[in-house]
Amino acid sequence: MAITPLKSDRLYRESSLKHSDITSTKHLAPLDEIVGQDRARHAVEFAMSIKEKGYNIYAIGQNGLGKRTMMMRYLNQHWQSESPVYDWCYVANFHEARSPEVLKLPAGKGNELKKHIEQLMGKLANALPMAFDNEMYYQRAETLKNQLTERQQNVLQGLSETAEKNNVSLTITPQGDYQFVALNGEEPHTEETFDALSHDEQMAFGKVIDKLETELRGIVRQLGEWESEYAEKQKALDEDIAQEVIATQMAPLKKNFADLPDILTFLDAMQADMLEHLDIFLEDSEEQAALAYAALDKKLPRRYQVNVLVSQNDAQAPIVVEDSPSYHNLFGYVENATFKGTVFTDFSLIRSGSLHRANGGVLLMDAIKVLEKPYVWDGIKRALSSRQLSVSALEREVTLSGTVSLDPAPIPLDVKIILFGDYQTYQLLQRYDAEFIELFRVTADFEDDMPRTESTEQQYAKFISSIIHDSHLLHCSRSAIARIIEHSARQADDQNRLSLHSADIANLLRESNYWAHHANANSIGALHVEKALASRNMRVSRLRDSMMQNVENGVTLINTHGTALGQINGLSVLSTSDYSFGLPNRITATTAFGEGEVLDIERSVKLGGRIHSKGVMILSAYLASLLGKTDTIPLKTHLTFEQSYGGVDGDSASMAEFCAIFSAITEAPLRQDIAITGSMNQFGEAQPIGGVNEKIEGFFDVCTLKGPSNTQGVIIPEANIQNLMLRKDVVLAVEKGEFHVYAVSHVSDALALLAGQAAGFGPDHTGTSGLLEVAIDKLNRQRKRQKESSPPHSH
C-alpha cells in the first residue's frame, strides 16, 4: 500500500481564537489563579484547611510553572485563617536578666504598648526628679534628718557631760573618730604633763576612759541602728512619693490595657522594679548615667523598653516569602553591642526571623536553598515538631563554648510552611529523612501541561491577560493571543496540549511588548510575537548556526539527493541549556562474513548510551526473527553514526539503523532525500519519539542549504502526528508540495518508501515478493558458499 504524505493542516494546529469574538486582552477579565493547576490547587486548599500538626506542603514541579505565583494568588485572594494573629514582644525579666519574657498581644497592640511605655519613661524622667525637688519633700526629709541628728546629739551630749565630770573630754579626730582625752584643768594633758602625774592618777584616768569607751561603743552601735532606721524611713518616704508619681502616670496605661492580664502583670512588675531602682531616674552624673546605660542589670532607657519582635498591621494572617533561608534569617538572633569597651546584650537586642513574622500564617521557601544552609533543616523540623520558636545563638548550638548569652522564653508557633522543589529533592527527603513525611504530609504536584480545547484556550487567553495586567504591558490583539497559544502547544510538544510554563509565556509577553513599543504600536500583534520569538532564537542559536555552516561547507557529510547502499539520514536533537535544534546524521551499515551479530561501533568505543544500545539490540532481535528463524545469519553487520564524536544516546534512530542494515544485506539502495526518525519494538512497530518538530525542521534546513527538491521529506512514527507544530516555512513548503512528511506505523512501511520497493514483511504484507525475499535468497546463497568452502570433517 502506497504511503501518502501528510497534508499541511496536520502539521500545525491553529488556535480556535482566530475565529472567536475576542478582540484583545483589554476586554478579558484576568484570572485570579494559575490556569491548569487544579490538582495542585485542591492539595493546597486541603492542607490550608487542616490545623493539625504536620500538614505542611511540598510543592513539586519544574522551575517556571508558576508555583509561587499560584500559591500567592490563592493565599491572598481565597485563604482566610481561622486563628487570630498576634504581636509578639520581648520585655525584661526583672528577676532573671538572662531570661527575657515574651508578651502576646492582639495585632497592632505591640507598637502601641511600646509607644505608651516610651511616653511613660519620658514623663517619669521629668516628674520623678521634680517630685524630689520641692519644699514639701525637703521639709519631710529635713525633719527625718533633724530627728536623727537630735537623737545622736542628745546621747553624745550625755556621754560628754559624764566624761567632763571625770575630767575627760570627748573629741572628734580629723578622721571622724570619737576620742577621750584626759584634762589638765580645762586643757587636755600633754605627754609631759600626763607623765608628771602619779601612777595612781594615771591609773584612775585609765579606768575612767576604759569605762567611757565601753559606753561609747554601745552608743556607736545605737547610732548605727538609728541611721539604718533613718535610711529605711528615708527610703519609705522616697517610695511613697515615687509610688504616688508612678501610679499617677501609669494609671492611664493600665486602663488602656485593662483587658490584657499579661500586660497588667508586666506593668505591675515594672512598677515594683522602678521603686527598687529609683536611682536610675535621679542620677545626675553623666558617668553614672553612662554606666547605668551599659550595665546589664540596670539600664536607663533599656530596662523598661518593649522590644516589639513582630508587629502585625492588621488581623490578616501573614504570608511571608523567604528568599534567603539562613539560620539567622529564619529563627532570629541576638545582637551584641559595645559600649566603652564593654560587650553586652539584652532583650532589646533580640531580632526576629521569618518564622516569627510568619507565625499565625504561611512561610514560603525554596527547598534546595533550605537544604543548602547549615543547620536550617534541623531547626525547621525541631520548631515544627515542638510547635515552639526559640531564639538561641547559633554559636551555642554548634560549639562547646560556654559563652554567656540570653535564654529568651520560647514563642508558641502556629505556621504553615510551603516548600518549593523538584521531584528529585522530594525523593531524597522521603528516602533519607524519616521525619519529612510526618511534617510535610501534603504534596502539591504541578502539571507541566494541560489539555487544549476551545474552553481551555479561552482560559489561557485570560491567563495571558492576567500577566499583562500584573506587568503593566501593552494589550495583546486576538492574533497575538492565538500565536502565543500556538507557541504554548509547540512548547508542550503536542497539538492537543498547552504548556503551563508560565515564566516562559511571561518572558515572551515582555519581549513582544518591547518590540511593540519599538514599532510605536498601541498593542501587541502577532508580528511582534514572531519578532520576539525570532530574536530569542537568534540569541541562543550560535551552536546550530555553526553546525549548519559545517553542513554547507561540506565538513559534515550529508547527502540530500540520490540513493546510497547501506546509508541513511537519521535525525537527532541537540540541546543547550536554553535551546534545542535538530540535525541529520549519516548512519551507515556494512556486512561481512560472520554469524549474524550486529556490531554497534558506538557501543564498542563507549560513545553509545544505554538506551541507544538497547535500541540496537531490539532491532537485532527483529532482524533475527525475520532472517534467522531456520539458520544462523551468515553475516556480521557493522553499524555506526558517521562523524559522531560526542556520544549517541536514545533509541529514536533504531528504525533508521534497521533500514540501513537491511539495505546492506539486500544491496538495495536507500533514498538520501528522505530522512527518518523513530524507534521500533521487537515486532517492528514504530514507536513515538521526542523532539519531532526540531528533527523535521533540522532536515528541512539542511535540504534548503544543500539544494531543495520536490521529493525531499521526513519519515516519522504515526504516533507522533499529534506532536507536530512545525514552523510556518516548513508548513508552507509542504502545502506547495516542495517538502513531505510521511507517517508510518511499521518499519516495513519506512523501508518500502526508502528503497522504492515492497518490504515483503510487516502487517500489510500481502504475499508478494519484496526485499525480505531478496534478503533470504542472498543469505541462502551465502550459507551455501560457506558450506562449500568449509573443509570436510575427519572421522
512: nearest Cα among 566, 486, 476, 539:
476
779: nearest Cα among 688, 662, 701:
662
For 619, the enclosing helix (H) or strand (E) is helix 610-627
Q: What is the spatial distance between Cα 688 and Cα 401, in angstroms, rounded to a whole number?
A: 63
> Is 545 a residue whose pLDDT tops 80?
yes
pLDDT the model gives residue 402: 54
Identify the weakest region by mean pLDDT among 114-118, 368-372, 525-529. 114-118
According to DSSP, the residues that pair with 170 across neighbouring strands are 180
> Is 237 a residue whose pLDDT tops 60?
yes
> Is 297 a residue whose pLDDT tops 50?
no
The set of residues, in sequence order, having a beta carbon less than 8 Å from that of 39 and lying 6+ positions away, is 444, 445, 447
Mean pLDDT rounded to a whole number for the chain: 86
pLDDT the model gives residue 395: 62
Residues 204-223: what's their mean pLDDT? 78
pLDDT the model gives residue 290: 54
Is 656:570 a contact under the CB 8 Å cutoff? yes
pLDDT in tens, 364-396: 999 999 999 989 999 999 999 999 998 875 666
Residues 503-507: what's their mean pLDDT? 92
pLDDT the model gives residue 285: 47
> Is 702 a residue whose pLDDT tops 70?
yes
The set of residues, in sequence order, having a beta carbon less than 8 Å from that of 457 and lying 6+ positions away, is 15, 16, 17, 485, 498
> Is 132 a residue whose pLDDT tops 80?
no
Q: What is the spatial distance between Cα 45 and Cα 75, in angstroms, rounded to a whole number?
A: 9
pLDDT the model gives residue 778: 85
Is 678:655 a contact under the CB 8 Å cutoff? yes
According to DSSP, the residues that pair with 338 across neighbouring strands are 343
pLDDT the model gives residue 770: 86
Q: How far apart are the first and last CA of the chain?
A: 55
Q: Residue 341 to residues 134, 337, 601: CA-CA distances in angstroms?
A: 39, 10, 76
> Is 790 a residue whose pLDDT tops 80?
no
* Active-site residue list: 652, 695
- Residue 321 corresponds to which cell in the numbers above? 516569602
> Is 794 a residue whose pLDDT tops 70?
no
Q: What 3 state SS string does 215-248 have?
A: HHHHHHHHHHHHHHHHHHHHHHHHHHHHHHHHHH
- Residue 384 corresponds to which cell in the numbers above? 515544627
> Is 338 a residue whose pLDDT tops 80?
no
The fraction of the chain above a pLDDT of 70, given in percent, is 94
Q: Residue 198 to residues 185, 195, 201, 771: CA-CA distances in angstroms?
A: 16, 8, 5, 160
Computed from CA positions of residues 735, 738, 741, 746, in that sequence, does the dihedral angle turn out positive or negative? positive
pLDDT the model gives residue 507: 94
For 442, the enclosing helix (H) or strand (E) is strand 442-445
pLDDT the model gives residue 89: 93
Identify the weakest region by mean pLDDT among 367-376, 392-401, 425-434. 392-401
DSSP of 640-700: EETT--S-B--STTHHHHHHHHHHHHHT--EESSEEE--EE-TT-BEE--S-HHHHHHHHH
Q: What 3 state SS string does 689-721 have?
A: CCCHHHHHHHHHHHHHHHCCCCCCEEEEEHHHH
For residues 427 and 793, the model is more confident at: 427
Q: What angle is formed at CA 466 by the lines to CA 463 and CA 471, rounded to 5 degrees?
A: 130
Identify the weakest region by mean pLDDT among 168-182, 373-387, 504-518, 679-693. 168-182
Is 680:658 a contact under the CB 8 Å cutoff? yes
Number of Cβ atoms within 10 Å of the Cβ of 109: 21
> Is 743 a residue whose pLDDT tops 90?
yes
Is 476:524 a contact under the CB 8 Å cutoff? yes
DSSP strand E in 565-606: where?
567-575, 580-593, 598-600
Assign 727 to helix, strand or coil.
coil
pLDDT the model gives residue 94: 87
Q: In the structure, what pLDDT confidence band is assigned to residue 296 with cuts at 50, 70 and 90?
A: very low
Q: What is the DSSP letter of 313?
A: S
Helix 610-627 to helix 771-789 angle (10° resolution) is 80
Q: What is the spatial distance between Cα 635 and Cα 644, in angstroms, rounded to a whole number?
A: 25
Identify the weakest region by mean pLDDT among 309-318, 449-458, 583-592. 309-318
pLDDT the model gives residue 399: 60
Q: What 3 state SS string does 200-215 have?
A: HHHHHHHHHHHHHHHH
pLDDT the model gives residue 656: 94
> Is 752 a residue whose pLDDT tops 90?
yes
pLDDT in tens, 31-40: 877 788 889 8
According to DSSP, the residues that pair with 676 across neighbouring strands are 570, 715
Query: Cell 495583546 identifies what position?
Result: 476
Residue 570: alpha-carbon gap to chain centroid = 43
Residue 516: is it exposed, middle or buried by C-beta count within 10 angstroms (0-12/13-18/19+)?
buried
Q: What is the spatial distance between Cα 551 and Cα 231, in angstroms, rounded to a whole number?
A: 105
Is 584:567 a contact under the CB 8 Å cutoff? no
- Residue 1 corresponds to which cell in the numbers above? 500500500
Q: In the structure, what pLDDT confidence band is assigned to residue 397 with cuts at 50, 70 and 90?
A: low
Is 779:665 a contact under the CB 8 Å cutoff? yes
pLDDT the model gives residue 792: 60
The fraction of the chain above a pLDDT of 90, given in percent, is 47
pLDDT the model gives residue 243: 81
pLDDT the model gives residue 712: 96
- Residue 276 corresponds to which cell in the numbers above? 527598687
> Is 143 a residue whose pLDDT tops 90?
no
Q: In the structure, what pLDDT confidence band is assigned to residue 497 with cuts at 50, 70 and 90?
A: very high
